[in-house]
Amino acid sequence: MEIRGTTGEDLEVFINTMHTAFGQFPGGAADSDGVWWAALEMDRNLLAVTADGRPIGTAGSYSFELTLPGDIVVPAAGVTAVGVVPSHRRQGVLSAMMRHQLADLRTRGEFISVLLATEAVIYRRFGYGPATYTSRLTVPRHQGAFAARRARAAATSLDTGSRTGSVEVLRRVDCGEILEQVYDRYRRAQPGALSRPHRWWTSGAGQPPIAPAARYIAVHRNADGVPDGYASYSMGEGNTLTVDETIAADDAVFMALAQFVLGHDLVKKVLFKQVPLGHPLRWQLADYRAGEVSDDTDWLWVRLLDVPRALTARGWSTDGELVLDVDDQFLGEHNRYLLTIREGKADCVPTDSAPDLSLDVSDLGSIYLGGTTPSTLVRAGHIAAHHQGAAALADALFRTERVPHCLHWF
């Protein structure tokens, strides 16, 4: 077997091999709107081929940007299109492709790799850990009243009621570049969010509302008329209004859009897809039980390729020191680092000091964006805390003001 890089000339064979691995046909239901591959970057993809030249495996990566805690935007490889044809599975083809890909990404100078996993049991062995989570929230319209605000203090700029804005309904095809611009502003301030490169929007690659499927878009504008949020939605069976995604500059805009869809006539219930865990929407409703959470699942998996670079890249909000003993079995690396945080910035250097925590690189990926607490993984038995208080210290340091969330599908 050989693993080789691809060019634009390999596009057809790449797509066909991948579809065989997924048991799908190009243009079939899993294709969304049939153009997902328009975003593939063929100079970043790999094909596994047998000695007699038959393609048996694919792996790709997109050149995204990822927002880290502290509103810091860094490059990130978005691993995609991973598949091995059914006749050649469990013979190490994926493992060989992953090894090749991680080396390739390091050669490109990339230090974070991310993916969405079809199955949660595949990628930990390659050093990935789940780092952001998402869920669906269903609200029956008759229970969709919002609670009156409770604080008696004078209104602040954060208060939802102290702002004025407007909502206009457009068809997806008539939105021009509004969605792209609103999404781009949102993702730069949302830890865990990925960029959606311009060509995704122009080629309609992805899922709605990137894919130009029939959708209505409720566009929210601020008092100056500048778009600062949108909800992409459609009406389906049982008069359920399904919201693909709600993109909002802040919580007040999110609430305005939620109120808008929950006030839609002829709707029995509203299904909000891609809601971050712990989102305030349930608290904003008068009836806390009205919001039913389902499909609570992992979304973005993170793999650190250069631990010191990754740890010094993100923003931090609590000063402190932590010694991390990090094991990277797949790449055969084992290192101990002293992480020192002062005034929002970290320094990360090799050390011989006794560790506070010992952990696998996949678990470091899980806690990196602040979406999983170190103490949860200590309690689960995956991270070893070497003294009383080590887990609480790590929790305090890795904690982020905003829950990381990613809703980009790739």
Ligand X SMILES: CC(=O)SCCNC(=O)CCNC(=O)[C@H](O)C(C)(C)COP(=O)(O)OP(=O)(O)OC[C@H]1O[C@@H](n2cnc3c(N)ncnc32)[C@H](O)[C@@H]1OP(=O)(O)O
Nearer to ligand X, 121 or 214 (CB): 121
Which residue from 3, 13, 16, 22 is in contact with ligand X, where contact means CB under 6 A?
A: 22
Residue 206 labelled as part of a binding site = no
Nearer to ligand X, 39 or 323 (CB): 39
Rounded to 5°, the CA angle 189-296-248 comes to 25
d(CA 265, CA 371): 37
Contact between 377 and ligand X by CB under 6 A: the answer reads no
Dihedral sign, CA of 346, 347, 349, 354? Answer: negative
Using CB under 6 A as the binding criterion, the count of chain residues that bind ligand X stands at: 23
d(CA 176, CA 174): 6
CB of 210 to ligand X, least distance (A): 18
Nearer to ligand X, 229 or 365 (CB): 365
d(CA 68, CA 362): 17
Contact between 348 and ligand X by CB under 6 A: the answer reads no
Which residue from 55, 69, 83, 144 is in contact with ligand X, where contact means CB under 6 A?
A: 83
What is the C-alpha radius of gyration for the chain, rounded to an integer number of angstroms? Answer: 23
CB of 304 to ligand X, least distance (A): 17
Q: What residues numbered 100-129 form the site for ligand X, per CB under 6 A?
A: 115-119, 121-122, 125
Active-site residues, by number, are 123, 410
Residue 323 labelled as part of a binding site = no
Q: What residues numbered 43-72 form the site for ligand X, per CB under 6 A?
A: none
Nearer to ligand X, 230 or 301 (CB): 301
Contact between 80 and ligand X by CB under 6 A: the answer reads yes
d(CA 42, CA 346): 36
Residue 90 labelled as part of a binding site = yes
Which residues, listed in sequence order, are joined to residue 320 by a DSSP beta bridge? 341
Residue 23 labelled as part of a binding site = no
CB of 164 to ligand X, least distance (A): 43
Percent of the chain as helix, strand, coil, to the nearest 5: 30, 30, 35
Which residue from 90, 150, 152, 289 is in contact with ligand X, where contact means CB under 6 A?
A: 90
CB of 348 to ligand X, least distance (A): 28
CB of 245 to ligand X, least distance (A): 20
Contacts of residue 270, defined as CB under 8 A and 6 or more positions apart, other chains included, come to: 138, 139, 141, 144, 240, 241, 242, 243, 261, 262, 264
Which residues, listed in sequence order, are joined to residue 168 by a DSSP beta bridge? 219
CB of 301 to ligand X, least distance (A): 8
Nearer to ligand X, 219 or 304 (CB): 304
Contact between 21 and ligand X by CB under 6 A: the answer reads yes
Residue 215 labelled as part of a binding site = no
CB of 259 to ligand X, least distance (A): 36
Print the SS3 string covering 339-389: EEEECCEEEEEECCCCCCEEEEHHHHHHHHCCCCCHHHHHHCCCCEECCCC
d(CA 32, CA 23): 15
Nearer to ligand X, 325 or 328 (CB): 328
235-246 per-residue burial string, b: 16 or more CB within 10 A, e: under 16? eeeeeebbbbbb
d(CA 373, CA 104): 31
Contact between 79 and ligand X by CB under 6 A: the answer reads yes
Half-sphere exposure of 237 (CA within 13 A, CB side): 0
Cβ-based neighbour number of residue 168 at 10 Å: 12
Piece of the chain touching ligand X by CB under 6 A; list 77-85, 319-327, 347-355, 369-377: 77-85
Which residue from 46, 84, 139, 369 is in contact with ligand X, where contact means CB under 6 A?
A: 84
Q: How distant is the alpha carbon of residue 174 from its chain centre?
A: 27
d(CA 344, CA 8): 43
Nearer to ligand X, 60 or 355 (CB): 60
Contact between 205 and ligand X by CB under 6 A: the answer reads no
Contact between 39 and ligand X by CB under 6 A: the answer reads no
Residue 91 labelled as part of a binding site = yes
Binding residues, by number, are: 82-84, 90-95, 118-119
* Footprint on this chain of ligand X (rule: CB under 6 A): 21-22, 79-84, 89-95, 115-119, 121-122, 125
Residue ranges of the binding site for acetyl-CoA: 82-84, 90-95, 118-119
